[in-house]
Structure 1
Amino acid sequence: MFIQTKFYTIFSFLFGLGFYIFMKRAEAKTDHPKTLFFRRLLILLLFGFLHYVLLWDGDILHTYAITGFFLFLFYKREPRTILIWAIVLLSFMQFFTLLGSLLMALVPLDKLDLSSAVIPLENWGVHTEERFHSFYSEAIGNSLIMLPETLGLFLLGLYAGKKDIFRRTKELDTKLKKWQIIMFVLTLPMWFIMIHFFIKNQPYTPFSLMGITMISGKTLFIFYIFTLMRLLQKEKWQRLLRPFQYVGRMALTNYISHTIITLIVFGLFFKKYYPVPLWIGPLFCIAFYTLQIFISHWWLSRYQYGPLEYIWRLGTYGKMMPLKKKSKVS
């Protein structure tokens, strides 16, 4: 209700916004901004490939990289054109996802080919080989299938960048409040459907509700973003939320490290109890995310970039640059 499909939407939105910010800054420094971002995407694709094959087939980096190349088609477009394309692409994907969910709900549970739980790190070599082949046979194709969804969200971020909405929060506060309320109200009936479905159906089959879940992901992610924009106008909330910026500045490193630590913890320490009870998942995520805040803060107090962000940057610009922060001279 609150998490699934609500956060990849935010990250995708921020990727589109980040593309705009990167291109504007690169234009001021070089005559070849597209070349720099092209390299940036290629390196991200390599990170995604390694993450997918060696660690986890749920990787999102390769999808972002593949879809990111399509952003070049829209960079010079007018904001209105970008917004129209975003709405059309997202609506197209929502329609077919909703249709698929309705058809899935009609299929008896015993007829569905459900996968069994796989213990993390067990038969790692075999699974790595399987993931290597599935990257080419499935992952790339799945990324293209999801392209309308991912690109639509990227374009919303690009639109927000072109309209400079994050620098105009005070000016837009009335509109933000209006759409904040609208998005929350639109989410409420979808929550009711999810709760009703969960109570009435045992065992619970969430894929039957994927259409509703994805639609609620769009309404609630907009609600989340507009809520944060309004809260961050107040200094009290800026202080309270400031620690999260450290995790964001090391997003790539934290994303990969989360996979590694999760595989180690659940593959080694919970091996006898796998699959683990659902309540352990949220507790683990909260605890590990809190740890990432402290580690990210510690690292960035000494270094300019996260470890993987630094490698990403070296590959993008093709030259060495200092990693460690210069010591302050009193």
Structure 2
Amino acid sequence: MFQALLLEQANGRPESFAARLATLDEADLPPLNEGDLTVDVQYSTLNYKDGLALTNQGPVVRKWPMVPGIDGAGTVLESRHAAWRAGDAFVHNGWGVGETQWGCLAERARLRGNGLVRLPSAFTPRQAMAIGTAGYTAMLSVLALEDHGVAPTSGEVLVTGATGGVGSIAVALLSRLGFKVTAATGKTAEADYLRALGATTIMDRAELALPGKPLQKERWAAVVDAVGSHTLVNALAQTRYGGVVTACGLAQGMDLPGSVAPFILRGVTLAGIDSVMAPLPKRQRAWDRLARDLDPALLERMTEEVSLPTALEKARQLMAGQVRGRIVVKIAA
């Protein structure tokens, strides 16, 4: 028997949605053809997508009932995969888990070995979940900037949604790599927190949130955007000639109400960041760089730990904008 958060909906009726802490049996786990590893999940986390699923605010779950949790870290219990053995430590991010396949907000899970990364020796399972998909996405964004030739000497980098999970880790990574970072946030009271992560300038997100001109004063050598909509459009309009903007979030919206002007008049590149279905070599590269470039001490500044039974309430706070940084869920009591 094991504990899990369980999401249920009767006959496709959203009004029947329920989320609860349930006691399940291993026989309840998906069949082995949906995952060739049975794992002990020690820690998980709450990402924005998990918040949407747990509060039923977005069409994340596509199969019912569902155990949410797109991230997990722990130990392999049983393996039918050639690359994994019982006792191996793993990190899991994405791959449709918590959407179409039962996820990691549970003491047990069944996962696909092809989607797992070995836990880097630099991190404990708790630290890996303090990073989670948010930090892994932030690292993918930083790698995209580097792959497009952006360096600390290129100029100032803007990070939007800076007090969120992606933003917080992006600020910490870029600062440690030597970049001058401007952190845009609606939580101006968190300025000291952002400066402690390495931000040199704090910007009120209101400066980016409303419709603006197609081309604005050139400022940013690069941008890591986790917000979307007008914020992303304004960031593009302010990016310098030849600059790069990565897009990985939609906190403000999925729309892109802008102009082609930054692309055809300034040669700006818009690089999409997908963390869910990224191939294993790209995942491994990101985690290798996280192990090298992320200061574990900074993780503690941005991390709050909650228990599995309290994760539901914390998800509501996350969706209400009452959380900063990262939320780690300790699975075992």
TM-score (norm 1): 0.26
Q: Which has the higher helix share?
A: 1
- Higher Rg: 1
Q: Which has the higher contact order (CA 8 A, sep 6+)?
A: 1
TM-score (norm 2): 0.26
Q: Which has the higher strand share?
A: 2
